Chains A and B, each alone.
Chain A
Amino acid sequence: MNNNLVSTSMEKSFGKSLLYTLPMFLITFIFISGGKVDFSNLPAALAIVVTFLFMNILYFMMHYTGKTDKFRVILFIIFALSLSFTLIKNMMEMRHSMSFSQADLLECKIPFCHLVIPMMIIPAAFTKSIIFPGSVIGGFADISSMIILWLVATLVLGRGFCAWGCFYGGWDDGFSRFRKKSVIKKISESWRWMPFAVLFMVALTAAMTLGPTYCDWICPFKAVTEFEQISSVESVAKAVVFISLFLSLVVVLPVLTKKRTQCSFLCPMGAVNSLSNKITPFVVKIDKKACSECFKCVQVCPLFALTKEDVKNGKASVFCSKCGKCVDVCSKNAIHFGIKGVPAGTMKNFSRNLFLFVSFLFISVFSAGSIINAVQSIFKLLF
């Protein structure tokens, strides 16, 4: 069989790709700009136009080349960088520092992120309250909006949130692509269960202390967002933990292993999202008839979501983030995006098109605010 011909079967002609991009073009334009761009504020208008065009070019390329992860990861990394940039910029403008003060804590002005959700469930059930010093509604990153965004994304995409929605994932996804070949090759798959242990531990300690213990003591992304003012031995210890975990799990290990080690071994939200993979409509399937069992997909999976057994069983495990890296690498076009209930190897194009539309719509609209903000700041610096 001609491998090349098979590998390109997800590709579309230029015209057809344009046609597939048109609905995304219109919808993202309406959702991102509100249907009109105000050119009286030129840097802001240009930032919107550049962001919007850039996103749609990526979406077009996904259809045109048939590759998913190759273009997804660009947006995913930019999202992570621009979110950190926007957050730090806001903090510097408002507080002249990357740390939050006791007044911010007392006045409940801390931006909420989805990683708090697993810790707030037990306390919410028993105390009928949220154990986080944030704003319930209104203001930057309020609790209600973040819950809704995460809930819908996780219902529809499952752990796809970890490749198409999370504003942290782009960090270790990015660093995992630094080298062509991995230095550390042998890592036991059993480590992928670690986030469940972390989830259990933080859910329990959060319930006992009525405090978001993961945010207070563990979260590596505090190193690139905001953290407590260094004013005591305890706050120094926390800063050391945040920075060490960031450097080891988000930077060094991903570079050496080519895996997303923070997301695979630590993040409790990753564990929750893996569970939600059980209910989502979209899955990654393997057409066993077409599969040559080369296991290239197993090698490239950044989340240890695919074992040889999974390939033989015809579907990726619950750890799958639907990033598409395995799909991009399969020369037989055997591994593909699918829909639950639809047999593997059938309706491949339809399933991919539908999945791409849903997941790309989410990441593009969700990330637009941060990216536009970052682009606008760059324009202001340049001109």
Chain B
Amino acid sequence: MKKLKMITGITWAFAGLILMFILFPGMNNLSMSVSKLPFMKINPNYNGGVVAKQIVEASCTLDIRKPVFDGLLKERKSGFVQIDWRGTVPDNIVDTIDYDLDEIPDFTITIDRIKSTTSINAMSSKVLNIGVSTPTSYGWAVRVNLKK
């Protein structure tokens, strides 16, 4: 029994050595495999969720994302919707958004990029306020807080 334990221990230690040898040269392949695991995607609370509707305008594209209410076990009572303007974004933005795609406008958003001011005119009781409004590497992004 003692000998078996000893052999197992030493074998495990050598397996550790081999693992270390594989780790760095195999880093790209290993991390690629890890990235393909089913849970390896960023939670919508961080990446803003999937794009539900894309409106192509003259110089820029407007992405209306799926509203995010994600909780651990069930949806939360409050959440947000993210809107992205991509491309050559005008200095003054005025857009009316139907975030739940029911063909009824939910809010109008007004952005002055020069003064960095954003205001919202809610047309639905579910629309609360502006959560985030910021320039991004691709243009401009806004998160509007919502309730269910």
Contacts and interface: CB of A to CB of B under 8 A. Distances in A.
Interface string A137-168: 10000111101110010011100000000000
Contacts of A351: 13
Nearest to B7: A341
- The B contact surface, by secondary structure, is helix
A27 B25 CA distance: 11
Interface string A359-373: 001100100000000
A143 B40 contact: yes
Contact of B42 (A132, A207, A342, A362): A132
Contacts of B17: 354, 357-358
A133 interface: yes
Contacts of A149: 23, 27
Given A130-B39, A131-B43, A210-B71, A145 B10 contact: no
A129 B42 contact: yes
Interface residues of A, number: 55
B6 A341 contact: yes
Contacts of A132: 42-43, 46
A128 interface: yes
Contacts of A207: 72
A129 B45 CA distance: 10
B30 interface: yes
B115 interface: no
A363 B41 CA distance: 29
Nearest to A341: B9
A340 interface: yes
B35 A137 contact: yes
B77 interface: no
Interface of A: 27, 31, 101-103, 105-108, 122-134, 136-137, 142-145, 147-149, 152, 155-157, 207-208, 210-211, 280-282, 339-343, 351, 354-355, 357-358, 361-362, 365
Interface of B: 2, 5-10, 12-17, 19-21, 23-25, 27, 30-32, 34-35, 38-48, 70-73, 82, 132, 134-138, 141, 143
